[in-house]
Amino acid sequence: MESHVPAFADADDIAMVERLIAAHGGRGALLPVLHAVQDAFGYIDEAVIPLIASGLNLTRAEVHGVVSFYHDFRSAPAGRHVVKLCRAESCQARGAAALEVAAVERLGVKMGSTRADGQVTLEPVYCLGLCATGPNALVDGAPVARLDAAGLDAIAARVAA
């Protein structure tokens, strides 16, 4: 095996990444490839970056830069539940900042990370297109509008289950 083979991946994983790269074409396909890899694996493992760079004729730094720039990409597996809080302007005007402080405390996890027990990941999101009903969140992919303390309690109960 060559040294660039990712430690996390078996031969099937590597083959899947290579298929995803091939399916999305050449140099301009970085974002679609990254989305496809994250859809397939749940995150972009550091060890996959050299494969993508090589497959798309990019540098590792270019790939890494895009992964770290976009909030949508994860560099580690998510928790069992994923809670995304909207940080964009309309939700901020409706109290999202204070809600975020409360969510961090209530869920026991820092923003942008996964709790040590793996039960929940808390992430920012920048506008869900539901601005009139903010502050908004996405909980395991489902929108939650007008989030308040009671809503946080409900999310905490769901995460504990």
Among 47, 127, 138, 156, binds ligand FES (CB under 6 A): 127
* Six token digits for residue 37: 């890899």
Total site size for ligand FES, rule CB under 6 A? 11
CB-based contacts of 118, cutoff 8 Å, min separation 6? 79, 80
Which residue reads 């939700």 in tokens? 91
Task: For residue 49, state whether it binds ligand FES (rule: CB under 6 A).
Answer: no
Q: Per-residue x/- marks for ligand FES, 82-121, CB under 6 A?
A: ----x-xxxx------------------------------
Which residues ranging from 134 to 153 are in contact with ligand FES (CB under 6 A)? 134, 136
Among 53, 120, 130, 152, binds ligand FES (CB under 6 A): 130
Judged by beta carbon, residue 53 or residue 130, the one nearer ligand FES is 130
DSSP letter string, 32-75: HHHHHHHHHHSS--GGGHHHHHHHHT--HHHHHHHHHH-TT--S
| Residues paired with 137 in a beta bridge | 85, 144
Taking the complex as a whole, how short is the minimal distance between the CB of residue 98 and ligand FES, in angstroms?
Answer: 14
Positive or negative, the CA dihedral 19, 23, 27, 32 is negative
Taking the complex as a whole, how short is the minimal distance between the CB of residue 139 and ligand FES, in angstroms?
Answer: 14
Judged by beta carbon, residue 54 or residue 90, the one nearer ligand FES is 90
Judged by beta carbon, residue 14 or residue 138, the one nearer ligand FES is 138
Taking the complex as a whole, how short is the minimal distance between the CB of residue 83 and ligand FES, in angstroms?
Answer: 14
Distances (CA, A) of 161 to 36, 80, 156: 30, 10, 9
Which amino acid makes up residue 138? L
Binding site for ligand FES (CB under 6 A): 86, 88-91, 127-128, 130-131, 134, 136
